Amino acid sequence: MVETGHFALVLAFALSLVQMLVPLVGARTGNQRLMAVGGPVTVTGFALTALSFAALAGAYAGSDFSVANVWENSHSLQPMIYKITGTWGNHEGSMLLWVLILTFFGALVAVFGNNLPATLKANVLAVQGMIGAAFFLFILTTSNPFIRLNPAPVEGRDLNPVLQDLGLAIHPPLLYLGYVGFSICFSFSVAALIEGRIDASWARWVRPWTLVAWMFLTGGIAMGSYWAYYELGWGGFWFWDPVENASFMPWLAGTALLHSAIVMEKRSALKIWTLLLAILTFSLSLLGTFLVRSGVLTSVHAFATDPARGVFILCILTLFIGGSLALFALRASSLTAGGLFHPISREGALVLNNLFLTTATATVLVGTLYPLALEALTGGKISVGAPFFDLTFGPLMLPLLAIVPFGPLLAWKRGDVIAASQRLMAAFAVAVAAMLVTGLFINGASVFAALGVGLAVWLVAGALTDLAVKSGAGSVAPAVMLRRFAGLPRSVFGTALAHLGLGLTLLGIVGTLCFGTERILTMRPGETVELSGHSLRFEGLFPQKGPNFTEDRARFLLIGADGNAKGEISSAKRFFQARQTATTESGIRTLGLSQLYLSLGDEGNDGSVVVRLWWKPLVTLIWGGALVMMAGVAMSLADRRLRVGAPARRRKPAAALASPT
């Protein structure tokens, strides 16, 4: 079975070469039969990659330790769910997942792309084939998961204990769906450059793909953040770690792309910029893959002494980023520029959004790459963390967030700021009220905290104002308004929900950072600790045995105001024999939107234990807001205009779509 998987992977590589060359030649020469090869080849390539992935997953599920990759990352006592998720919990397997998703998206274009102009479809599939070929070759030459061991070991070395967690099991697939989803936007852009023109179907296809990729990337980042929060036991939700930044940069650029694609679709303006942004977003996804997968972050020196993988990905990176940008430089001038608009208009607001977001992306890029460059060039070691990003990323985000509610209320082409401001008066009043209440009535609130709460409420109220105004609030009878509200396009709900979710996330961040409290203390069994009005009694340490670990579980009872127990929180120190490593399982109890978070330190000889306790107000909103943003995007995707495969209402006659050559 494992050899079948290996063979399927080699075949998939061969097919990707066909996919990259034949349709391209067909599109160049106008040969319909050559162009038609692209579809079936893409679908077959996906089927073979899926077979290959299934073979590896099968080896993991069956604990076949004769496969080196399985031996290194699995253990026969591991629960079945972690045996399977272990398939992508390592370098080789995760790269296989990467190409699986890449070929899956390519196959979707092949199957549902019948309403695309034939040359565009052929070129898109060819570019997808190029990306696929590069990564297949990378896997086969430097990261082959199918290498056998002889003799086969009896027992595996276990999956890294911190990866034995459901959160991390679904984090990489979500993240990769996001990263790789942008490859379709990239392929469409490069295809447009090859053809030398952008037609209407380009925007209709790129926008939903951007939405899909963005939705998954948001989910992946939120999942990773929540995982770090509960698994690492530090109580933090974002560390500005290079690995986090690697996924955050494509997210920021993708957010900009999401907005400029709207202008492109609605007003056919900003064409060239949108195309460039699509290229940049996928380039940042590739950069993220490079940073995480080349080992350059673990050690610049390890990268220099064992260069096979790193240099290979660096070559892929240079080839695709350099190639696409060179093509852009050559061809962009031949693309027709789009319509004009007044600076104060919906388009103008979206341009401002793009300016802020791309600049913010650049600051994150500098903060992430500068330490690497400095170490490679001078050997000096610095760490760039929260203080740097607070000073650079923060000042860029604050004005952007403040102007978000204006955007959707401005008209296309020529807007009226004064009219929009009048409509936002109620939202502004609510935000100021929230700010004053926070500043005056909550103990220990700083000016910054009050401003943060005000800004978050402003975003939420602004999103609701948008819906109210578009339903005709204030000018029509309530019954009519309700009917109009129900009849609003889904993309309007999508925008409002996404902006509302952003406000909720901000509220969660401000609540946790500005109003959170923490205590560190040594506790003996029977002792009670008080934190922000919550009483916890330490019951003691209880040894337990799991499938592939042993643990000391500390139980705490949450005591209510009446002296009765309201519930239990438990935290544990786990020890994994196979890897001889310990992990800390934090104890979390959600109370409303807030959480009580507890983490264990060293144990004393007398049954005492060091306990670190946090009260995290509104912390669940950080990830809840991300879910609302994703729901908003899903809502936009459900809009009839964007539904892939829905008959286009204003389709150009076929003659206009034929290749100009």
| 383 in contact with another protein (CB under 8 A) | yes
- Minimum CB–partner distance for residue 247 and another protein (Å): 18
Nearer to another protein, 339 or 343 (CB): 343
417-456 residues near another protein, rule: CB under 8 A: none
Q: How many residues does the chain have?
A: 661
Beta bridge partners of 69: none
Which is nearer to another protein, 107 or 401 (by Cβ)? 401
By DSSP bridging, strand 587-591 and strand 581-585 are unpaired
Interface stretch with another protein, choices 2-10, 503-511, 582-590, 645-653 (CB under 8 A): 582-590
Owner of token pair 């079945």: 80
Judged by CB, which is closer to another protein: 49, or 392? Answer: 392
Torsion from C-alpha of 42, 17, 197, 644, nearest 10 degrees: 10
Give CA–CA dist 337/263, Å, rounded. Answer: 13
Restricting to residues 494-523, name those near another protein by CB under 8 A: 520-522
What's the one-letter identity of residue 368? T
| Contact status: 147 vs another protein (CB under 8 A) | no
Backbone angles phi, psi at 524, to 5 degrees: -105, 155
When the beta carbons of 52 and 599 are compared against another protein, the nearer one is 599
Locate 378 and state its tokens. 């001078």
What is the H or E stretch that residue 408 is in? none
Are 224 and 174 spatial neighbours (Cβ–Cβ below 8 Å)?
A: no
The smaller minimum CB distance to another protein, of residues 394 and 478, is found at 394
Q: How far apart are CA 520 and CA 336, in angstroms?
A: 63
Q: Is the preceding omega at residue 151 within 30 degrees of 0, hence cis?
A: yes
Asked if 487 is part of the footprint of another protein (rule: CB under 8 A), the reply reads no
- For another protein, which is the closer residue by CB, 74 or 620? 74
Stretch that binds another protein, among 107-115, 205-213, 260-268, 391-399 (CB under 8 A): 391-399
| In the complex, least distance from residue 597 CB atom to another protein, rounded to whole angstroms | 12
3-class SS of residue 295: coil
Shortest Å distance, C-beta 551 to another protein: 12
Task: Figure out which of the listed residues 1, 152, 330, 382 binds another protein, where binding follows CB under 8 A.
Answer: 382
**Helices 447-470 & 425-441 angle (0-180, nearest 10):** 150
Between 218 and 599, name the residue whose CB sits nearer to another protein: 599
Site for another protein in 8-47 (CB under 8 A): none
Closer by beta carbon to another protein, 202 or else 614: 614
Q: Using the minimum distance from each CB to another protein, give the nearer residue, 361 or 471.
A: 361
Q: Binding of another protein at residue 193 (CB under 8 A)?
A: no
Asked if 380 touches another protein (CB under 8 A), the answer is: yes
Task: List all residues 6 or more positions away from 31 whose beta carbon is below 8 Å from its beta carbon.
Answer: 25
Binding pattern for the stretch 341-370 against another protein, x by CB under 8 A and - elsewhere: --x-----------x---x--xx--xx--x
Angle at CA of residue 89, ends 88 and 94, nearest 5°: 40
Name the one range near another protein by CB under 8 A: 63-71, 85-93, 221-229, 385-393. Answer: 385-393
**Binding of another protein by 391 (CB under 8 A):** yes
List the structure tokens of 1. Answer: 């079975």
CB neighbours of 289 closer than 8 A, spacing ≥ 6? 98, 179, 246, 313
Q: Which of 40, 322, 323, 395 binds another protein (CB under 8 A)?
A: 395
Residues of this chain, 238-297, that bind another protein according to CB under 8 A: none
Contact between 550 and 543 under an 8 Å Cβ cutoff? The reply is yes
Cβ atoms of residues 204 and 281 within 8 Å: no
Among positions 582, 638, 646, 656, the unique one binding another protein when judged by CB under 8 A: 582
309 lies in the site for another protein, by CB under 8 A = no
Rounded-to-10 torsion of CA 331, 332, 334, 340: 170
528 is a site residue for another protein (CB under 8 A): no
CA–CA gap between residue 484 and residue 478 (Å, rounded): 10
Q: Which is nearer to another protein, 595 or 599 (CB)?
A: 599
For another protein, give the closer residue by CB, 371 or 439: 371
Work out the widest C-alpha separation in the chain, in whole angstroms.
Answer: 85
Residue 618 backbone dihedrals phi, psi, to 5 degrees:
60, 15
Answer whether 269's CB lies under 8 Å from 347's CB.
Answer: yes
Residue 573 touching another protein (CB under 8 A): yes
Site for another protein in 606-645 (CB under 8 A): 610, 612
Q: Which residues contact another protein (rule: CB under 8 A)?
A: 233, 298-299, 301-302, 343, 355, 359, 362-363, 366-367, 370-371, 380-385, 387-388, 390-392, 395-396, 520-522, 573, 581-584, 599-602, 610, 612
